[in-house]
Amino acid sequence: MKIQLKQYLSAIDKEQVDALETLIFLVSGGDNPNSNPGDWGRFAHKKTVSERFQRAHKRGAATKPFTTDLPNDKGTRVSFWQVKADLSTFEYLSLARKIAQQAIAQGSETVSIQLQKLPVASHKPLVDALISALYAANWPITSFKSGKKNKKPTKRLHIYGLKSLVNTKQSVATSEGTNVARDLTQLPPNVLTPGEYRKRLRKLATQFGWQHKFYNKSQLEQKKAGAFVAVLEASDKPTGGLVHLRYQPSRRPKKTLALVGKGLCYDTGGINLKPAKFMYGMHEDMEGSAVALGTLIALSRMKVDYAIDCYLALAVNDIGPLGYRPNDVITASNGTTIEIVHTDAEGRMVLADTLAIASKAKPDLMIDYATLTGSCVAALGTTYSGAFTNREEFHNDVIDAGKKSGERVWPFPQDKDFDKALHSKIADIKQCTVGGGPDHILAARFLNRFVDKNVPWIHVDLAAGNHKGGLAHIPTETTGFGVRFTVDLLQSKLFAN
Ligand SMILES: [Zn+2]
């Protein structure tokens, strides 16, 4: 889908207003939503709206944005949204979601917005938020409900009153990446099997011009990727495996980025079967791979000048007689032996080998995404995701990119003495502990064993991958969280220079 964007450096004039069915004003407002914006500039109908606003305010209503129909032929419906000063990106995105919802409910294919006396510094984040929210609200998310949809999609966004034109390439690119990730993640597990996922990835590879490679179970066995293979064992004729996509810029790249994603198309927990309450929703356990893919899509659209290797670890954590069990000892592709403790910790198993394989190419930066631990959700809730890195000096850039993108991320410690909890009597390392403890930190310490020390690495535990009621500009519970964060992170000094 595409929303056509037009930016105007002038305020909307009378002729333009009177041709519209709906118009949205964004006016500067304090903390009081009832305060009259006062300065209506050269707005053609300012006398009418100002009087009506005062009257509505006297009645004490105004918990909603003030809305009124203009006395012109079209009866243009105008609504006034107050924008507070100094909003964070997260707050701009959250406000834009409400505006997008209203615009869609009003049913006009063109969303027209006048920025009225807003501080110039707010223009760029507002334009980004409005584009992102409109794409999120209009994206054709796959549904299996029978019957017709009657929602009219937004086709155009017209923004008036800008001080200068805003470059919107990144907003559109991250929107596409995020929404592809959201849609894939919410697909039912009998639809998005690893086989179907691979088919879609091949199609995308052709569309985007990525190189494409797939390692099936026997090829992973040849690579001695025992940790990955252990997870595939329980599936009858597993269609999972490792997908490797490569983006090559037009000029010879100076740097390479590696993106890695956990793609568990369903997670039953394995022989340590999950109870119903925790199994329901486990089709979303492939969100990490969808976010890695979405990031690759966004960066490809932005035509970045570095190469990108994207590795997606696809599998189903099934139950079956051949499935791996607690107390098994398994050897990963880097030779590390792992004592299995809990078959529901399958994410770190497929990631262990994938990170080891991805490390071999010595990328300049490696980022992995996974819906990995319940303890990360317990620690942060679902409005933030957790970050873990083998370069502590990255912490500030990680926090800043989270704030800048509106996808907020917070780092956790990675001191070596955490490893004591993973000490095994029989193997090099325990997969996890039996229960309790800081599993999100221990999982990252476990993964660290499979990452080349010379490769700067960031692991993102997607606690915010699903948030009840939607998050920021995203109206659905599945958020696709991580694409915006990564694109901003890659522009920080940590990677760009
Ligand atoms: Zn699991």
Cα of 66 to ligand 1 centre, how many Å? 48
**Residue 109 and residue 47 share a domain:** yes
Work out the end-to-end distance of the chain between its first and last CA atoms, rounded to an integer number of angstroms.
34
Q: Which helix (H) or strand (E) holds 312?
A: strand 307-317
Does the pLDDT of residue 113 top 60, yes or no?
yes
Q: What's the total number of domains in the chain?
A: 2
On whether residue 69 sits in a domain, the answer given is yes
Q: What is the pLDDT of residues 335-379, one digit of tens each?
A: 999 999 999 999 999 999 999 999 999 999 999 999 999 999 999
Q: For residue 265, give the nearest of 197, 325, 199 by alpha carbon.
A: 197
Does the pLDDT of residue 39 top 70, yes or no?
no
Q: From edge to edge, which strands make up the β-sheet containing 66-69? A: 4-7, 156-160, 110-116, 22-28, 77-83, 66-69
Does the pLDDT of residue 34 top 60, yes or no?
no
**Residue 214 and residue 144 share a domain:** no
Q: What is the pLDDT of residues 10-31, one digit of tens each?
A: 999 999 999 999 999 998 876 5
Q: For residue 261, list its beta bridge partners.
A: 312, 369
pLDDT at position 369: 98
Does the pLDDT of residue 242 top 80, yes or no?
yes
**Residue 204 and residue 123 share a domain:** no
Q: What is the pLDDT of residues 163-217, one digit of tens each?
A: 999 999 999 999 999 999 999 999 999 999 999 999 999 999 999 999 999 999 9
Q: Domain ends where: 147, 167, 187?
A: 167
**Residue 309 and residue 286 share a domain:** yes
Look at residue 487 and give its three-state secondary structure: helix
**Residue 323 and residue 190 share a domain:** yes
Distance of CA 226 to the CA centre of its chain: 30
**Residue 192 and residue 50 share a domain:** no
On whether residue 90 sits in a domain, the answer given is yes
pLDDT at position 350: 98
Rounded Cα–Cα distance for residues 286 and 372 (Å): 10
Confirm if 220 and 242 have CB atoms less than 8 A apart.
yes
Confirm if 186 and 265 have CB atoms less than 8 A apart.
no
Q: For residue 375, give the nearest of 272, 421, 444 by alpha carbon.
A: 444
Q: For the domain that residue 20 is a member of, what is the CATH number?
A: 3.40.220.10
pLDDT at position 150: 67
**Residue 192 and residue 140 share a domain:** no
The alpha helices in 191-285, defined as continuous H runs, are 194-208, 217-222, 226-232, 276-279
pLDDT at position 311: 98
Rounded Cα–Cα distance for residues 251 and 429 (Å): 43
Q: What is the pLDDT of residues 295-342, one digit of tens each?
A: 999 999 999 999 999 999 999 999 999 999 999 999 999 999 999 999
Cα of 137 to ligand 1 centre, how many Å? 31
Confirm if 148 and 264 have CB atoms less than 8 A apart.
no
Cα of 175 to ligand 1 centre, how many Å? 29
DSSP-derived pairing of the beta strands 457-461 and 365-370: parallel
Cα of 205 to ligand 1 centre, how many Å? 28
DSSP-derived pairing of the beta strands 409-411 and 385-389: parallel
pLDDT at position 398: 98
Does the pLDDT of residue 434 top 90, yes or no?
yes
What's the longest Cα–Cα distance across the chain?
Answer: 82
Q: Of 88-92, 101-105, 148-152, where does the model show the most confidence? A: 88-92
**Residue 176 and residue 113 share a domain:** no
Residue 310: phi and psi, rounded to 5, are -115, 120
Q: Domain ends where: 167, 184, 199?
A: 167
**Residue 208 and residue 74 share a domain:** no
On whether residue 494 sits in a domain, the answer given is no
Cα of 15 to ligand 1 centre, how many Å? 59
Q: Which helix (H) or strand (E) holds 442?
A: helix 439-448
On whether residue 376 sits in a domain, the answer given is yes
For residue 4 the two structure tokens come to 């056509």
32-41, 77-86, 415-424: the lowest-pLDDT one: 32-41
**Residue 69 and residue 37 share a domain:** yes
Q: Domain ends where: 133, 167, 201?
A: 167
Q: What is the mean pLDDT of the chain?
A: 95
DSSP symbol at 419: G
**Residue 178 and residue 163 share a domain:** no
pLDDT at position 63: 66
Confirm if 241 and 289 have CB atoms less than 8 A apart.
no
On whether residue 364 sits in a domain, the answer given is yes
pLDDT at position 35: 57
Rounded Cα–Cα distance for residues 9 and 165 (Å): 7
Active site residues: 274, 348
Question: What average pLDDT does the segment 268-297 reach?
Answer: 98
Region of residue 270 (phi > 0: left; psi between -120 and 50: alpha; otherwise: beta): left
Q: How far is CA 26 from CA 47, 50, 83, 130, 393, in A?
A: 18, 15, 6, 11, 40
CA atoms within 13 A on the CB side of 13: 4
pTM of the predicted structure, to 2 decimals? 0.96
Question: What average pLDDT does the segment 240-268 reach?
Answer: 97
Question: What average pLDDT does the segment 482-495 reach?
Answer: 97
Percent of the chain topping pLDDT 70? 97
What sign for the dihedral angle of Cα 484, 488, 490, 495? negative
Does the pLDDT of residue 33 top 60, yes or no?
no
Residue that wins the pLDDT comparison between 246 and 497? 246
Rounded Cα–Cα distance for residues 460 and 402 (Å): 12
For residue 367 the two structure tokens come to 């980022």
What sign for the dihedral angle of Cα 186, 190, 193, 195? negative
On whether residue 495 sits in a domain, the answer given is no
Distance of CA 455 to the CA centre of its chain: 24
Q: What is the pLDDT of residues 131-160, one digit of tens each?
A: 999 999 999 999 999 987 767 889 999 999
Q: For the domain that residue 402 is a member of, what is the CATH number?
A: 3.40.630.10
* Residue ranges making up the domain that contains 127: 4-167
Does the pLDDT of residue 474 top 90, yes or no?
yes
On whether residue 225 sits in a domain, the answer given is yes
For residue 157 the two structure tokens come to 């966004």
Cα of 391 to ligand 1 centre, how many Å? 27
pLDDT at position 37: 60
Cα of 343 to ligand 1 centre, how many Å? 7
**Residue 224 and residue 356 share a domain:** yes
DSSP symbol at 137: H
Rounded Cα–Cα distance for residues 263 and 286 (Å): 4
Residue that wins the pLDDT comparison between 255 and 38? 255
Rounded Cα–Cα distance for residues 450 and 357 (Å): 9
On whether residue 496 sits in a domain, the answer given is no
Confirm if 382 and 477 have CB atoms less than 8 A apart.
no
Cα of 131 to ligand 1 centre, how many Å? 35
Rounded Cα–Cα distance for residues 20 and 294 (Å): 36
